[in-house]
Amino acid sequence: MEQRTLGADVRVGAVGLGCAGMSGAYGQRADEQGIATLRSALDAGITFIDTADHYGMGHNETLVGQALRPADRDRAVVSVKFGALFGVDGSVRGVNGRPDAIPTFLGYSLQRLGTDYVDIYRPARLDPAVPIEETVGALAEMVQKGYVRGIGLSEVGAETIRRAHAVHPITDVQVEYSLFSRGAEDEILPTCRELGIGVTAYGVLAQGMLTGTWRQPVGDARHRGHLPRFAAGNIETNLALVERLREIAASRGTTVAQLAIAWVLSRGRAHRDVVALVGASRPHRITDAVDAAGLRLTEDDLDAIEQAVPRGAVAGERYAPALLSLLDSERTGGRR
């Protein structure tokens, strides 16, 4: 698989694996199926494995650890998000980026993963009560002690990226980026490129909208009814955009999903600094992602895609207001 470079020297495949769906983010999955998917990904050249301590309340890290033991650990670049806080009812309670909390979060993650280091460790979101310099400073101490090899960020704006990078080199910034979510193009991507920071793009299939598998408007579709773009009045517009992409995909002999992934990868091909994170919970989905990584879009293809789905054409925000308010990337620029 084509390679990408995150930060100074972290080499990974152009497509990464997002593991949230293996631990109940979109319904229950068998552990054996998740482990098989992870191992299929590694065999296919997908080396960036993205998890978080809150995925399945720790279950996901345990699953990743089981899949990587014992011989596959050095084949993978494991990215872990930490600090997201949830109530007993599953409600979002905020994020904890306090320096004194980081060793505890990390210790639990290392135990669940069954490893003595994490390749990239990042706060799940910016803690507005803690200066980013303090959070990154504490992470830098974990790097010095050998428990962490690289520091990442997630859903932060350009100013925060600069402040963090001034304390310790940042390996990559994880941000939602797709044909339906292009706000990162304004400040986040240019800032990362200027500073030599990689970008790991999640949500490349727009929470499933860009899989191309839905043809009829649906309201509360498989745990997605809380997402504005799936709400009645918005989903009809958005599915019409998907149909335009379907025509382009058909002309290339590919699928809407592969076209959407290839578009994200095209944004970083010249600099080799953008990785597309694809969620998969079944081994056969890995083949689809790998095929997308090999799809080269021409300038004519890119022009046709831009005309079919111009920026701002999507209806609805990516999250409800309460969740958007938690994103530093939204507060400091990066809408749509």
- 177 catalytic residue (yes or no): no
Kind of pairing, strands 3-6 and 10-13? antiparallel
Catalytic residue, from 26, 55, 117, 121: name it: 55
Residue 124 is given by DSSP the state S
- Report residue 48 as tokens: 């960036």
Q: Which two tokens mark 273?
A: 């600094």
Instruction: Please count the other Cβ atoms lying within 10 Å of the Cβ belonging to residue 262.
Output: 26
Placement of tokens 């010095």 in the chain: 144
Token pair 């919970």 is found at: 281
> Long-range contacts for 184-191 (Cβ within 8 Å, ≥24 apart)?
184/329, 184/334, 185/267, 185/311, 186/333, 186/334, 187/157, 187/158, 187/332, 187/333, 187/334, 188/156, 188/157, 188/158, 188/161, 188/329, 188/334, 189/267, 189/274, 190/158, 191/158, 191/161, 191/162
Q: Which two tokens stand for residue 67?
A: 């899949």
What is the C-alpha separation between 309 and 303, in angstroms, rounded?
10
Distance of CA 37 to the CA centre of its chain: 17
Catalytic residues: 55
